[in-house]
Amino acid sequence: MALRALWRFIHRFQLIRWAILLVLTLILVMSAYFTYEAKTVDMADIKSSLQTKTEIYDHKDNGVGSLYSQKGTYVSLEHISKNVQNAVISTEDRSFWTNPGFDIKGILRSVVSLIINRGSIAGGGSTLTQQLVKNTLLSQKQTFLRKGQEIFMAVQMNRVYTKSEILAMYLNNAYFGNGVWGVEDASELYFGKHASELSVGEGATLAAMLRNPSYYNPIDHMDNAISRRNLVLTLEVEAGHLTSAQADAAKQTTLTLNNNYNEDSTDKYPYYFDAVIEEAESKGFSENDLLNKGYKIYTSLDTNYQDALDQTWANDNNFQNDASDGTKVQASSVAIDPQTGGVRAIEGGRGTHVFLGYNYATQLHRSPGSTLKPLMVYTSALENGYHYDSELSDKKQSFGKNNYSPSNWNGVYQNTVPMYTALANSLNVPAVWLLNKIGVQKGVSSLKRFGITLEKKDQNLAAALGGVSTGVSPLTMARAYAAFANDGKMPQTHSIRKIVDATGTTVYQADTQSKQVMASSVAKEMTSMMMDTYNNGTGASAKPYGYTVAGKTGSTETPKEWNVNGDKDQWAVGYTPDVVVATWTGFAYTTKTHYLQTGDGGNVDSIFKSEMTNLLPETAQTQFNVTSASAKVAAITASSAGTSSGSSSGSVWSDIQDGIQDGVNTVKDKAQEWYNDVQGLFN
């Protein structure tokens, strides 16, 4: 009774007809949508994009590699053996030469797959043309919507290109395992010959890999490759491309491997090339265009600098030992030209490089530790009336309403200490005392000039020691310290100088202007103090033998409740007039078992010393035009001792001269302070 009632209801309101109409309308709408997409896609650009690569040039305009996506060495169909053409067609698309871009049987198989897999297509049923569309225009996700797009675009591709052009594009775009795209490079990798020279068995072997390159390639799985090759040969017989005798003969041949493939130099500078893409994307270029439009990208890369850093990265002894579970300690480094801001070299991490993966040199956000002191505290102090030898309080004490009580890392305290000594030895109490005297906001403003903006919650005395949630990267720190090496002018860091498109038109030019962030005299006095960091301060063990380097080291401690002796992060930033190098090391994720342990292999000092030892001989080796603060004090002390026995009149005259000079310095410092205050109103 219930079924009859239901049927009468359906019949009365003609629901079946309405359902059919609805389905047909849906098909019409979807067809119109897919047709529009197929007509508007830049189909004519596919062939040219597969044939072109974006070329990368170094700072001297020498070619150093290419950027490309899923491309091999492009060869025309005439230079691809019929043996591989027939094998691929027999295996992947027997109706290739006659179908309109899709195959009805394949579509039916996809529909069945759609039903079985509840809306998700498991794969299969695609023609060569559809596979080419998928690889060049669409995502790899298998859905009903994408399958519809694939079919309609395949039809459009069939109208734009000849079958020979489509087959050539497919074979030049296909992936054959072991990081190789395209039949020409695959032929060189596996058999040491050109694609035009492939035998019947070799052609079948390459065709066999298309189903699963990692499982059927003969380098990693010879037995699987031979088994699949023999199946392909049988399919060629069924398709009429081989006789049974020819197939049997090919099955008896031995697969002889011979690698004659010359890898592109893209892999030689992987993190630098990643940074180039990252920077270009920030300027409005899409990743797809960068990999496929045939640009010429002129960079700031210095291959000598990069090779020098690579030497350090190749020696595991420079780094802390692996954690007990095998996790590698991470590290990153960047070298820049302080005059131009050009990024000369990048080390973006340790371990296996992942294309466009995480770059610790440019994308890191970690606490800078005491490397923040020169930027936030000491530069601001010099601009507010203090001098390199000003006496700072170094007593154990508390500050502010919250009774903030910093501790010196070495547990040693003096009543007072000169500023240059406090900086070189990275003493915490004097730095906090000084920031408290000049005012936190002046320190925050100073830091902002160097390109580091603190969040409101971090604008306190603890920031003097790098205790901030605002993380920084080596690139950010290198740029900030470049101002000290460049007479107070901070450059715009850039890895790209210009980009030229395929027509020869310059479509991007880097902004290389520098910004004056402090007076030249302040930069020189800061350099004078920071030379002692590596002469006799916290960076003494990181100093490269025979060279003078200025800069600052820093670290962040593990939580006290862990009760362990180690750091979360370690930093070393150093510079000469020619180059600035910023280096960081630490674990990707700091835990109780993943932290920098004291005495467990190398640390930031060993990394930095090795880098600078290798790199500085490649620079112009320009000398600083200032003397270290400790050397100045020693000279003054010696001079005072030598003149102490002189006439009292000479001493009086000297005192008068010193008094006049001190007065002049005070006026200059006060004027600079007023200028900074006024300037701060407009920041």
pLDDT in tens, 494-510: 999 999 988 889 999 99
Q: What is the pLDDT of residue 638?
A: 86
DSSP H or E segment with residue 426: none
Residue 683, token pair as written in the block: 């920041």
How do 54-57 and 296-299 pair as beta strands?
A: parallel
Amino acid found at 410: N
Mean pLDDT of 215-235: 94
Q: Which of 300, 332, 370, 393 is catalytic?
A: 370
Q: What is the pLDDT of residue 392?
A: 97
679 versus 305: the higher-pLDDT residue is: 305
Assign 61 a pLDDT band (cuts: 50, 70, 90): very high
Q: Using one digit for the tens of pLDDT, what is the confidence trace for 328-375?
A: 999 999 999 999 999 999 999 999 888 889 999 999 999 999 999 999
Whole-angstrom distance, CA of residue 675 vs CA of residue 384: 10
Q: Using one digit for the tens of pLDDT, what is the confidence trace for 398-443?
A: 998 889 999 998 889 999 999 999 999 999 999 999 999 999 999 9
Of the ranges 156-160, 423-427, 469-473, which one carries the lowest mean pLDDT score? 156-160
Q: What is the pLDDT of residue 538?
A: 96
Determine if residue 330 is left, alpha or beta; phi over 0 gives left, psi from -120 to 50 gives alpha, anything else beta: beta
Assign 12 a pLDDT band (cuts: 50, 70, 90): low
pTM (whole model) above 0.85: no
- pLDDT over 90 (residue 663): no
Mean pLDDT rounded to a whole number for the chain:
85
Q: What is the CA radius of gyration of the chain?
A: 34
- pLDDT over 80 (residue 108): no
- pLDDT over 80 (residue 239): yes
Q: Which of 49, 69, 90, 92 is catalytic?
A: 92
3-state secondary structure at position 138? coil
- pLDDT over 60 (residue 676): no
Assign 265 a pLDDT band (cuts: 50, 70, 90): very low
Q: What is the pLDDT of residue 446?
A: 96
Clarify whether 370 is annotated catalytic: yes
How large a percentage of the chain has pLDDT more than 90? 62
Mean pLDDT of 605-634: 96
Assign 121 a pLDDT band (cuts: 50, 70, 90): very low
Q: Which residues contact 188 (CB under 8 A, 6 or more apart)?
A: 194, 259, 260, 261, 262
Q: What is the pLDDT of residue 52?
A: 79
Q: Using one digit for the tens of pLDDT, what is the confidence trace for 563-606?
A: 888 899 999 999 999 999 999 999 999 999 999 988 777 899 99
3-state secondary structure at position 476? helix
Q: What is the pLDDT of residue 71?
A: 73
Clarify whether 188 is annotated catalytic: no
In the Cβ-directed half-sphere of 228, how many Cα atoms lie within 13 Å? 25
- pLDDT over 70 (residue 113): no
Assign 655 a pLDDT band (cuts: 50, 70, 90): very low
Residue 633, token pair as written in the block: 């004090």
Amino acid found at 390: S
Whole-angstrom distance, CA of residue 505 vs CA of residue 502: 7
Q: What is the pLDDT of residue 481?
A: 98
